[in-house]
Amino acid sequence: MKAKILTRSAVAAAVAVALSAGYVAGHNNVPAPQVISPAAAALMPAEAAAKTGIPDFSGLVETYGPAVVNISAKHVVKQTSNRRGQSQLPMDPDDPFYQFFKRFGGMPGFGGGDGGPGADRPSEGLGSGFIVSSDGYILTNAHVVDNANVVTVKLTDKREYRAKVIGADKQSDVAVLKIDAKDLPVVKIGDPNGSKVGQWVVAIGSPYGFDNTVTSGIISAKSRALPNENYTPFIQTDVPVNPGNSGGPLFNLQGEVIGINSMIYSQTGGFQGLSFAIPINEAIKVKDALIKTGHVDRGRLGVTVQGMNQTLANSFGMKSPQGALVSSVEPGGPAAKGGLQPGDVITALNGVPVTDSTSLPSQVAGLSPGTSAKVTVWRDKSAKDLSVTIGALKDAKTASANTGGADSASAQDARLGVAVRPLTPEERQNDSLSRGLLVQQSNGAAANAGIQPGDVILAVNGQPVTSVQQLKSMVQHAGDSIALLIQRDDAQIFVPVDLG
C-alpha cells in the first residue's frame, strides 16, 4: 500500500487541459430543480442557509471572489532537488512524510533542459493568494514564492502585475506580496477562534491552474499539530484542496477569511479528504511583522518536550496526562536559567493551560524575546511556578519516542528487562554525558516500551541514575510503571515502561 504523504498544495505550471464531464440524460423520475428566489440568492451564505436549509455560497463568491488572485512564481531548481527551503527531504519514497515539504514548484519534463542530475532548470510554480488591503498587499504561502525570481499576480479581471515579495516566513509558511495598484477589492478578515468543528467553510483558489475555483466542506478539527510544523495550530477541513490552492483563502459562512489553505494529506498528491489551513490570526501577526521589520521574532524556552500518556502521568503522580514533559534542557538557555529541569511537566504558561506538547511551541513562540513569563510545572508530585526570561527562537531539535521493539536477550534486571553497564570514560567524553547506564540488551517490559540496545538510561522518574545497583533499587521499589529518561542519538526522551 502506498504511503500517505503530507504535501503543500502549490502546483507546477504545465499543460492544463480542461475536461468536461457530460451529464447522461434519460433518467426517470428526476426531481424538478429547486427554485430559489432572487432575494434568497442575494443573501449571505448563513442567511441563505437559514431561509432555504441549503448553504448558498454565491453571494460570498460574488462579493469576495475578485479579491482572490492567481500567483505565478518563476524560479530555477535542481533536477534532483527535493527540499523545504534548503532542507533535504528523506530519501525513502515510502516514508509517510517523504513529500511533506516537497512543494509543487516544478514538474519533471516541463520547463527544463536535458541537464543531468543537479543541473539547473527553469520552473514556473502556480499558487493562490488574496488581497488584504486596497493598495495592493497580498497574503499567500511562503512555499509558493520560495526562491522565486519573478512573481506575477493575475486578478479575476485578467489584469496582471509584477509583485514584490515583502517578506516570507518559512516557520509559519506565510508570505506577503505587494503590487502597484489602488482601489483593489479586498477580503474581510474573521476570527478563527469563533469557528466550530462541523461548520461550513469555502475555499477559492487555482487548483492545477484553474483560476478562481470554488470548493466547500466543513471544519474537521482545530488546533491540529503536524510533524515539523511546531508553530502553527492548523485548521483541518474536508474542503477539496489540490495543488495550486496553496495560499488561497478559507472563508466561513459570513464571508470572512479564517485561514490560508496550505497543505493536504494525500496518497497520490491530490485531494483525499484532509486539508490544512493556517489560522488567519496567526498569519496577520506574521504579515504585520514582515511589513514592519522584514522578519518575525519568536520566543524560545530552550527545552525539548514530548507528549504525555497515562503511564507517564502515573509515573509522575499526575491524575491525567496533560502538559508537556521536559526531556532535556539546553545548558545556559532561558529555561535552565529559570530553573526548569528534565522531568518537569509544563502545565501552564502565564496562566494559560498547556494541554499537550504540541500546543507549547506556538504558545512560547507568541511571546516576545526578553519578556518574563510564569511557567507552571509539575515536579515531585506538586505544582511549582517558575519565572523565565524568554529568549529568541533559533533552530531546535525535536525528540520523539520510538515505540519499536528490540531483540530478545538475557537481562540483569528481570522486572525491567535490561542488561546495562556504566559508561566508559571515552563514551562519557564522546557523548558529553556525565552519568548514565548503557543498554546492552533489552527484552520484556523494556523491549515492549521501545528501549533499544545503545540507549543510555539517565534517570528514573526524574531521579538521576549513576550505578547499576541504583537502577535495580529504583525499579524494585517502583510501582506498576516508571518513566525512563534515555539518551538516544542526539536527543533525550522519556519512555514510559509498564512494569505490571
Q: How far apart (Å, rounded) are the C-alpha atoms in residues 211 and 37? A: 28
- Which of 81, 206, 216, 246 is catalytic? The answer is 246
Element (H, E) at 476: helix 468-476
Structure confidence at residue 341 (pLDDT): 93
- Which of 9, 56, 123, 143 is catalytic? The answer is 143
Query: Are 284 and 312 contained in the same domain?
Result: no
Q: Residues 89, 398, 435, 430: what is their CA dihedral angle, to the nearest 10 degrees? A: 30
Query: Are 122 and 265 contained in the same domain?
Result: yes
Q: What is the pLDDT of residues 199-244, one digit of tens each?
A: 999 999 999 989 999 999 999 999 887 766 667 889 999 999 999 9
Question: Is 173 among the catalytic positions?
Answer: yes
Q: How far apart (Å, rounded) are the C-alpha atoms in residues 427 and 455? A: 12
- Amino acid, res. 251: F
Alpha helices for 203-327 (secondary structure H) = 280-293, 310-315
Whether 66 is covered by a domain: the verdict is yes
Query: Quick one: DSSP state of residue 3?
Result: P
Structure confidence at residue 400 (pLDDT): 37
Query: Are 122 and 243 contained in the same domain?
Result: yes
Contact 72, 11 (CB under 8 A): no
Question: Is 87 among the catalytic positions?
Answer: no
Whether 406 is covered by a domain: the verdict is no
Give the CATH number, domain containing residue 441.
Answer: 2.30.42.10
Name the residue with higher pLDDT: 158 or 227. Answer: 158
Q: Is the pTM of this model over 0.75?
A: no
Q: Extract the C-alpha cell encoding 353.
A: 493551560
Query: Are 266 and 285 contained in the same domain?
Result: yes
Q: Give SS3 for 150.
A: strand
How far, in whole angstroms, is CA 255 from its chain's centroid?
26
Query: Are 253 and 349 contained in the same domain?
Result: no
Structure confidence at residue 114 (pLDDT): 36
Query: Are 136 and 87 contained in the same domain?
Result: yes
Query: Are 133 and 2 contained in the same domain?
Result: yes
Q: What is the pLDDT of residues 426-470, one digit of tens each?
A: 777 777 777 889 888 887 888 888 888 888 999 898 888 888 888
Whether 412 is covered by a domain: the verdict is no
Whether 405 is covered by a domain: the verdict is no
Residues ≥6 apart with Cβ < 8 Å to 86: none
Task: Kindly tell me if the per-residue pLDDT of 13 is higher than 60.
Answer: no
Query: Are 290 and 316 contained in the same domain?
Result: no
For 282, the domain range is 1-12+38-296
* Per-position DSSP letters for 386-400, written without gaps between them: EEEE-EE--------
How far, in whole angstroms, is CA 359 from its chain's centroid?
11
pLDDT band at 328 (very low <50, low <70, confident <90, very high): confident
Query: Are 62 and 184 contained in the same domain?
Result: yes
Last residue of a domain, one of 376, 392, 408: 392
Whether 409 is covered by a domain: the verdict is no
Question: Which among 223, 269, 224, 225 has a CA at the least distance from the CA of 244?
Answer: 269
Query: Are 287 and 384 contained in the same domain?
Result: no
Structure confidence at residue 361 (pLDDT): 85
Q: Give SS3 for 165.
A: strand
∠ Cα 336 341 344 (to 5°):
135
Question: Into how many domains does the chain fold?
Answer: 3
Q: How far apart (Å, rounded) are the C-alpha atoms in residues 474 and 122? A: 62
Q: How many CB atoms lie within 10 A of CB 323?
A: 28
Question: Is 27 among the catalytic positions?
Answer: no
Q: How far apart (Å, rounded) are the C-alpha atoms in residues 458 and 304? A: 15
Whether 24 is covered by a domain: the verdict is no
Query: Are 320 and 264 contained in the same domain?
Result: no
Q: Give SS3 for 272.
A: coil
Structure confidence at residue 394 (pLDDT): 62
Give the CATH number, domain containing residue 210.
Answer: 2.40.10.120
Q: How far apart (Å, rounded) are the C-alpha atoms in residues 458 and 292? A: 46
Query: Are 243 and 352 contained in the same domain?
Result: no
Q: Which residue has the cell 526548569?
A: 340
- Which of 146, 173, 356, 455 is catalytic? The answer is 173
